[in-house]
Amino acid sequence: MQGYPKQQGFTLIELIVVLVIVILGFSAIGISLSSGNDTAEIKAAARDIVSALRYARGQALMDHQEIALSFDLEENSYTLSNRDKIYTVPDEISLTVVTAQSELTGQGQGNIRFYPDGSSTGGRVTLERDKAKLQIDINWLTGACELNDTFDDADR
């Protein structure tokens, strides 16, 4: 009598171990992708603010009138003095503004003002989220805006 040939295959335990390893691998990838989204979100918010600052400077030069970018730190938002739209920064991002004393308009509110000759009140806008920190420097003499990242090289 000939017996049945020995069947080759995987046991249920072997399959479960492989599935657990695959799930752990995808979890690690998901975590690294979400931390990349945090960095992307803060960079996008900073670029939007730099664009608004450059727009305000350009409008002040073209229209020969003062234009202010007003920040409301309690609402995490900003507006342009020649527009009605309110631009928001995600709540997870902490926003701080350093500006001239004369441009502080209330608790948690302040302006960066651009003049018709291209100059400004100057200042610094800082965006922070977890270990990510970006700062925007506004030169008072030229009104030029510069975005600087202050990420720690070890955190990248």
The answer to whether 115 touches 81, Cβ cutoff 8 Å, is no
Q: For the segment 68-77, what is each residue's pLDDT rounded down to a tens digit?
A: 999 999 999 9
- Tell me the CATH number at 30: 3.55.40.10
Domain-embedded: residue 3: no
Distance of CA 102 to the CA centre of its chain: 27
Handedness of CA 41, 46, 50, 53 (dihedral sign): positive
Tell me, what's the pLDDT at 2? Answer: 62
Tell me, what's the pLDDT at 5? Answer: 64
Tell me, what's the pLDDT at 152? Answer: 52
Domain-embedded: residue 42: yes
Q: For the segment 83-134, what is each residue's pLDDT rounded down to a tens digit?
A: 899 999 999 999 999 999 999 988 889 999 999 999 999 999 999 998 889 9
Domain-embedded: residue 62: yes
Q: For the segment 7-65, what is each residue's pLDDT rounded down to a tens digit?
A: 677 788 888 888 888 888 777 776 655 556 678 889 999 999 999 999 999 999 999 99
pTM for the full model? 0.74
Looking at per-residue pLDDT, the higher value among 148 and 35 belongs to: 148
Residue 156 CA to residue 148 CA, distance in Å, equals 15
Domain-embedded: residue 7: no
- Please give the tally of structural domains in the chain: 1
Per the structure, the complete domain to which residue 112 belongs is given by 12-155
Tell me, what's the pLDDT at 36? Answer: 61
Residue 38 CA to residue 44 CA, distance in Å, equals 10
- Residue 129 burial (10 A CB sphere; 0-12, 13-18, 19+): middle
Q: DSSP string of 79-141?
A: EETT--PEEE--TTSEEEEE--GGGEEETTEEEEEE-TTS-B--EEEEEEETTEEEEEEE-TT
- Position of tokens 């600087």? 148
Residue spans of beta strands (DSSP E) within 27-98: 67-72, 77-80, 86-88, 94-98
Facing residues of 110 across strands? Answer: 71, 104
